[in-house]
Amino acid sequence: MKKIAVLVMAFAVALLGSACGANNGDAATLTVGASAVPHAEILEHLKPQLEKQGVNLEIKVFQDYVVPNKAVEEGEIDANYFQHIPWMEATNKERGYHISKVIGVHIEPMGAYSKKIKDVSQLKNGATIALPNATSELTRVLLLLDSQKLIQLDNREGDKTLKSIKANPKNLKFQLLEPAMLPRVLDQVDLAVINTNYALQAKLNPLTDALFIEGKDSPYVNVLATKKGNEKNEALQKLAKALTSPETKKFIEEKYKGAVVPAF
Claim to verify: residue 12 and residue 99 sit in the same structural domain: yes
Regarding whether 95 and 43 lie in a shared domain, the answer is yes
Q: Are residues 99 and 22 in the same domain?
A: yes
Which stretches within the chain are classed as H helix?
A: 2-25, 41-52, 67-73, 85-95, 135-147, 196-201, 234-243, 246-256
Q: Kindly indicate the confidence band of residue 187, based on its pLDDT and cuts at 50, 70 and 90.
A: very high
Count the helix, strand and coil residues of the chain and give each as a percent rounded to the nearest 5: 40, 25, 35
For 86-95, how does the pLDDT look when each residue is reduced to its tens digit (9 = 90+)?
999 999 999 9
Given 195, 213, 231, which residue is the final one in a domain?
Answer: 213
**Whether residues 169 and 223 fall in one domain:** no
The answer on 185 and 56 residing in a single domain is no
| Model confidence band, residue 25 (pLDDT cutoffs 50, 70, 90) | low
Same domain, 189 and 144: yes
Q: What is the CATH number of the domain that holds 74?
A: 3.40.190.10
* Tens-place pLDDT, residues 30-49: 999 999 999 999 999 999 99
Residues 124 and 193 in one domain: yes
Measured CA to CA, the distance from residue 144 to residue 137 in angstroms comes to: 11
Q: What is the mean pLDDT of residues 107-125?
A: 96
Provide the domain limits for residue 132. 111-213
pLDDT in tens, 204-244: 999 999 999 998 778 899 999 999 999 999 999 999 999 99
> What integer is the mean pLDDT of 1-28?
45
The answer on 179 and 131 residing in a single domain is yes
The mean per-residue pLDDT over the stretch 85-114 comes to 96
Q: Do residues 44 and 128 both lie within one domain?
A: no
Note whether 120 and 78 are same-domain residues. no
Looking at the structure, do residues 166 and 176 belong to the same domain, yes or no?
yes
pLDDT of residue 206: 94
pLDDT at 59: 98
Please write down the long-range contacts of 229-238, taking CB distance under 8 Å and 24 or more positions apart.
229/98, 229/100, 230/78, 230/79, 230/100, 231/100, 231/101, 231/102, 233/78, 234/28, 235/28, 235/30, 235/54, 235/55, 235/78, 236/30, 236/78, 236/79, 236/102, 237/102, 238/50, 238/53, 238/55
- The pTM (predicted TM-score) of the whole model is 0.84
pLDDT tens digits, residue range 64-80? 999 999 999 999 999 99
